[in-house]
Amino acid sequence: MSAPRERWSSRLGVILAVAGSAVGLGNFLRFPGQAAQYGGGSFMLAYFISLLIIGLPICWAEWTMGRHAGERGFHSCPGAFHALLRHPAAKYLGVIGVIVPVVIYMYYVVIESWCLGYAMNFLTGRMHFSTPGEAGAFFARYIGSAQDGASVGFQFDQVGDYIIFVFLLNFFLIYRGIAKGIEWFCTWAMPALIVLAIIILVRVLTLGTPDPAHPDRNVSNGLGFMWNPQKVVMESYDGTGWKRDRELVSERSIEEAEREAAAAPDRLRVRKIGVLEELRKPGVWLAAAGQIFFSLSVGFGVIVTYASYLSRRDDIVLSGLSATSANEFCEVALGGLITLPAAVAFLGIAGVAGQGTFGLGFQVLPLVFAKLPVGWLFGFLFFFLLFLAAITSSLSMLQPGIAFLEESLNIGRKQSVSILGIITALGTGFVVWFSKDLKALDTLDFWVGTFLIFVLATIQIIAFAWVFGIKRGFEEAHLGAAIRIPWIFKPIMQVLCPVFLLGIFALWTLQNLFGIQFGSTHAEISGYVLDLVGPNPNPVAWGAVGIILTFGAFVALLVHRADAYRRPIINSSEAPQ
Amino acid sequence: MTTGGWIVLILSIGSVTTLFGWCIWKVLSIPDETEKLHGFEFETPDREKD
């Protein structure tokens, strides 16, 4: 490691960079959808418990592991495990920490280009939708979900130009390095993102009831759909059983429904699902823990790399907490107040319920902005906000790969950027071309963006708390610390976090691989598994898994051959000057 | 929105906003912290070797 060591230029810069890595599309699109789907207030309780039990502990563990590795000249995940565990096999554990960010980048950059494309189409006044079908048709055409290769085109309302621009912008910034590239960009992009979000938030909260013909479509009901702790639903009896008719979110609508049900008790009933009933459902915990994971970028291998550019005397406890709190502010206080209230105000609860992340973001919201006065401007601002959130995240996904290539091949930034550029361009090309039903993107997201993240986070917290040791880990974390980690986090990191994580992982595996639906006797093997080993294997799904395995083998080979992991581990702060 | 919804909203948003505000204040108020990041090669070797 004779090359000059890169470093952050300010503490605020590293905090904004880590926060930028965490704040992404999930904050504004995934979080509100998950909260509304899994019980609103009940979900928030599970969410905050997950934040305390897995989010913060793993975050602090990653910051500590990263700085510890950086002191010893390592900036990649294999290097971090090598420095931390000092076992010949330890470096191989870090292979996942290179696979995860690089493979996620391959498809994340595509979604990033959708955001930029939507922003530019709003700015140029091309987004005129009057029905959900029109918005859906535009999105399907834009992403090419009808057939493979359909999204490749270079018209203004096609994705080609945007992907090339976004891809090159990412690599330009990453080539400029830690301080002049990532830190410089995040230092202005993050404040800009928050200002944009506040402008949109003010507009959304002042929408009131946009259409007097539909008085139930208003901001207050949108907030209730998201935040009410008790879900209230009107159910009707169809002769075979009770079926859900609609969700009730305002005090007045609940009272009216109760009067209606009292008049026909054999046909109608109002069912109230309380907080405790919701929290007894494993799915709520799974969703809350999953959201914390994806939102905070823990288990991505990113924080380890970012923290490795700090020095021994630099605080990591307050920095980690600050980056986490910035992400939570963007997610809960901004994302939680913008997306669903805006959508419900124009489309009603029925038009929003059950929408996934893409449906909400790229079909429902464009329709909302099309109906809004000066909607082209707010549509542009919102999708540009998403674009900024996405690019600060995608930049963070490249740095672990760059650091690993520099470390394992002992090459400079120019070479490492070139190699990673070729690898990710091939992967992104695969995702863009095989766009039918978003099969390539979806498969990569499932196996890497969900499955491997769980695996890496579990390995990290066990390695930190049990192998490195919780006492030593706390001592290491507190070097240069501006605040102290409360003592309660020792048992949390050592026992509660791994147990909770393993429990959630087991539930996730049962639900998502074996298709077991909790609260139901029905079980069906997941489509992701059937795509690979079912009676009709899907070649695109196999291609996506092939990319993961090939890249994993490439990383493992480099780890195996790298001189960097064979030399004695030296703490650079004690090296002779 | 029900009264319970308002309570959950205020508690959730209030807690994350307070934490975020406190962190910003803490980061900006610690003397020299914003510009103290520097290479450890300038530090004295005052720690035992691993």
pLDDT digit string, tens, across residues A398-439: 999 999 999 999 999 999 999 999 999 999 999 999 999 999
Residue A315: closest CA among A473, A485, A481, A483:
A481
Residues of A within 8 A of B45 (CB-CB) are 573-574
pLDDT digit string, tens, across residues A475-494: 999 999 999 999 999 999 99
Residue A449 has pLDDT above 80, yes or no: yes
Contact check, Cβ <8 Å, A312/B47? yes
Residues of B within 8 A of A574 (CB-CB) are 45, 47, 49
Measured between CB atoms, which of B7, B33, B40 is closest to A482?
A: B33
Distances (CA, A) of A234 to A41, A85, A328, A354, A508: 19, 56, 33, 17, 30
pLDDT of residue A496: 95
Interface test mutation site (partner B, options A2, A11, A48, A217, max chain B beta carbons within 10 A): A11
Contact at 8 Å (CB) between A77 and A94?
yes
The phi, psi pair for A248, rounded to 5°, reads: -110, 130
Residue A523 has pLDDT above 70, yes or no: no
Residue A576 has pLDDT above 60, yes or no: no
- Tell me what the mean pLDDT of segment A28-38 comes to: 87
Lowest mean pLDDT across A2-16, A133-147, A427-441, A483-497: A2-16
Contact check, Cβ <8 Å, B16/A15? no
Interface contacts A/B by beta carbons within 8 Å? 139
Contact at 8 Å (CB) between A301 and A100?
yes
Q: Which residues, other chains included, contact B18 with Cβ-Cβ below 8 Å and sequence gap of 6+?
A: none
Which pairing describes strands A268-273 and A231-237: parallel, antiparallel, or unpaired? antiparallel
Cα(A81)–Cα(A92) distance, rounded to whole angstroms?
8
Residue A237 has pLDDT above 50, yes or no: yes
Cα(A273)–Cα(A229) distance, rounded to whole angstroms?
9
Return the ∠ at Cα A385 (arms to A228 and A306), rounded to 5°: 95
pLDDT of residue A130: 86
Nearest Cα of chain A lies from the Cα of B11 at a distance, in angstroms, of 10
Residue A11 has pLDDT above 90, yes or no: no
Residue A88: closest CA among A553, A568, A572, A575:
A568
Residue A380 has pLDDT above 80, yes or no: yes
Cα(A367)–Cα(A375) distance, rounded to whole angstroms?
10
- Residue A180 neighbours by CB distance under 10 Å: 13
Higher model confidence: residue A509 or residue A318? A318
Residue A93 has pLDDT above 90, yes or no: yes
Measured between CB atoms, which of A72, A314, A333 is closest to B16?
A: A333
pLDDT of residue A573: 61
Contact check, Cβ <8 Å, A336/B45? no
pLDDT of residue A377: 94
* DSSP H or E stretch at residue A131: none
Q: Give the pair of three-digit tokens for residue A355.
A: 């929408």
pLDDT of residue A334: 95
* HEC sequence for A338-357: HHHHHHHHHHHHHHHCCCCH
Domain annotation for chain A: domains and CATH numbers: 11-210+277-568 (1.20.1740), 231-273 (no CATH)
Mean pLDDT over the full length of chain A: 90
Residue A492: closest CA among A464, A468, A512:
A464
Residue B34 has pLDDT above 70, yes or no: no
- Tell me what the mean pLDDT of segment A518-522 comes to: 65
- Nearest Cα residue in chain B from A251: B2
Residue B10 has pLDDT above 60, yes or no: yes
pLDDT digit string, tens, across residues A281-301: 888 888 898 899 888 888 888
- Nearest Cα residue in chain A from B16: A329
Residues of B within 8 A of A251 (CB-CB) are 2-3
